[in-house]
Structure 1
Amino acid sequence: MMNGQARNRRKNQELCGKNFLKFVIYVFTFIFWLTGCAFLAIGLWILFAKHSYASLLGSSTYPIATFLMIGIGGFIIFSGIMGCGGARSENRCLLVLYAVFLLLIFLVEAISGVLAYMYEGIIREELSRNLNDTMMKNYKYDVHLTQAVDDMQQNFLCCGAVSFKDWQKSKWLQEDKNTTNKAPDTCCMSYSLGCAEDDHPSNIYYEGCSPKLAKYTKESLMIIGGIGLGLCCVQIFGVIFSCCLVRKIKDKVYKY
């Protein structure tokens, strides 16, 4: 009789421990799923709202960090659904796979954050080196890049990479004999066709775009790096809880 009561007590304790772990995984996965939605939303926002000047940067680091963030968000949402399913059905294979996915997400988030912070430190130097060369050689010859330059000059109220004088060395102005412009019309304070024929400071912006583009891009990279490094450690707790639940289920299988 006493042995039966002791066995029942142990079974109840094991059941309570297992149910507690399942509850913890449900709560963790819900929070984890919300972070995935946040990753996806912020990544898409950076892509559509802040990605228009990526072609001017001369490096693929910024686009890679952005797409990594979007990919992480989608993968987190998928993994969260799988984790809840594994906990509900007490499926050891799904829970182990969930733990492996959490480790992968941890690594990718860390890489994304480190890439963002590394690139944030060298972006001004890279822009000073590459932006002027890119603009002077490709403006009016590359439709996508031309649109990016025009948008940048209008939105940042600037002209050229370092100053408006950069345009005097551009391939476009040197080869186009039909234009009397001193710079693109998007350098004008009040835009109109042919407005940049006069390069007086009351008519066009004299300040270059490089410092403003560097600041703008740094803000995006700080968001990517902060979120990536700030949330990557959360996955470790999910791995621990998942492994504990797998152990509980494993013990039950061996016992019965």
Structure 2
Amino acid sequence: MERNRRPRSSHDGCCNLRFLTVIVYFFNFLHFVCSLTLGLLFLWTFYFKWYFVALLPSYRYVQIATFCAILSVLLLGTFLFGYLALNKERPQLTAIYTLLLVIILLVECGTCLMAYSYYEQVALDLKSSLITSLIRDHSLVENISDAFRDLHRLGKCCGVFSFEDWRNSLWWQNVNDVQSGVTRGFDLIVPDFCCQTVINDCGQSDHPSNIYYNGCLSFLIRSVQEGLFVIATTTLAVSFVQLLGACFTTCFYQQMKRLLNVKRMVYNYNNAF
């Protein structure tokens, strides 16, 4: 009975080469899906979350979003290389493919950690930097002025902590100088974009029915943290897919090497006789 039992080969069991080939092809396709996901995430960040970048005290948010774009390109290249490696069925190419997956996995983990750490830090940074930008830079630095305008429009808010923040700003001093006051006949309390209904010189009245009283700080913090949370969770999910793919690819590489060794032994044995 024992002599009639055939030797166990690399095609036996739940982890045979054919089964692993299908699994690795599937995960390689998932890498393509992940590449598209990260690319769309970068576009979403660029079009819907980019308005406040000029108001941030550092470039960490921009760096994190840029890493998403870089990872998208790397994953697309790895997908194409993986397709080539699987078709060629060469262990060396499969080993390089696995190494690429591990490198990308490390970059994804780093991006996730960066997003999470900045998520915790951004509220503290904005509490000090945003009021400085409002007092010092609005109306003098164009991109910051545009960012404040978009922030007030989207957040339906006024100032940083309240509308009274504008009284301490260089904008207020410049717009309400003696010459402008004589020409206009009244002082502006807040910029027109603080008004609930924006019309020319509507910022002269601070009545609750005319302007927003709540500050923009909490809205900006929520917007930044929302973007960071989406980036962190997406890269974490993608890295989990990468980890599984790397594990199955490693098994595939081991089985392929084992099969080639068996074929080499059979070839040497046949040539010996």
Same fold (TM over 0.5): yes
The 8 Å contact of residues 159 and 207 in structure 1, kept in 2 or not, is answered as: yes
Counterpart position of 1:153:
152
Residue-by-residue CA offset, 1:80-112 (whole Å, 9 max, x unaligned): 121121011113333222111111121111111
Aligned mates of 2:207, 2:10 — CA distance in 1: 86
Aligned mates of 1:126, 1:107 — CA distance in 2: 28
Aligned residues: 251
Aligned mates of 1:244, 1:86 — CA distance in 2: 15
Counterpart position of 2:249:
242
The 8 Å contact of residues 189 and 205 in structure 1, kept in 2 or not, is answered as: yes
Aligned mates of 1:212, 1:203 — CA distance in 2: 20
- Which consecutive unaligned segments of at least 5 residues does structure 1 have? none
Task: Assess, with a 3 A threshold, how the Cα gap between structure 1 residues 11 and 204 changes in structure 2: closer, same or farther.
Answer: closer
Counterpart position of 1:100:
99
- The offset of 1:185, in angstroms, is 0.8
1:31-180 matches, within 5 Å, as 31-176=30-175, 177=177, 178=180, 180=187
Residue-by-residue CA offset, 1:51-84 (whole Å, 9 max, x unaligned): 2101112122221111112221221122112112
- The offset of 1:10, in angstroms, is 4.2
Counterpart position of 1:215:
222
Letter in 2 for 1:213: L
TM-score between the two structures when normalised by the length of structure 2: 0.84
- The offset of 1:237, in angstroms, is 2.2
Letter in 2 for 1:225: A
Aligned mates of 1:17, 1:11 — CA distance in 2: 6
Structure number, greater radius of gyration: 2
Residue-by-residue CA offset, 1:105-128 (whole Å, 9 max, x unaligned): 211111111111221122222111
Q: Alignment partner of 2:93: what SS?
A: helix
Residue-by-residue CA offset, 1:2-31 (whole Å, 9 max, x unaligned): x9x968x848659x9322222111011112
Letter in 1 for 2:123: R
The counterpart of 2:197, out of the listed 165, 190, 193, is: 190
Task: Assess, with a 3 A threshold, how the Cα gap between structure 1 residues 103 and 192 changes in structure 2: closer, same or farther.
Answer: same
The 8 Å contact of residues 39 and 72 in structure 1, kept in 2 or not, is answered as: yes
Aligned mates of 1:10, 1:116 — CA distance in 2: 47
The 8 Å contact of residues 22 and 88 in structure 1, kept in 2 or not, is answered as: no
Aligned mates of 1:240, 1:155 — CA distance in 2: 45
- State, as a whole percentage, how many aligned pairs show the same letter: 27
Point out the more displaced range, 241-250 or 73-82.
241-250
Aligned mates of 1:150, 1:68 — CA distance in 2: 28
- Which consecutive unaligned segments of at least 5 residues does structure 2 have? 182-186, 265-273
Aligned mates of 1:45, 1:58 — CA distance in 2: 21
Aligned CA RMSD, in angstroms, stands at: 2.3
- The offset of 1:243, in angstroms, is 2.4
- The offset of 1:157, in angstroms, is 0.7
Q: Alignment partner of 2:199: what SS?
A: coil
Aligned mates of 2:105, 2:258 — CA distance in 1: 28
Q: Could you list the runs of 4 or more consecutive aligned residues of structure 1 that deviate by over 6 angstroms after TM superposition? A: none
Q: Alignment partner of 2:51: what SS?
A: coil
Q: Alignment partner of 1:162: what SS?
A: coil
Task: Assess, with a 3 A threshold, how the Cα gap between structure 1 residues 10 and 96 changes in structure 2: closer, same or farther.
Answer: closer
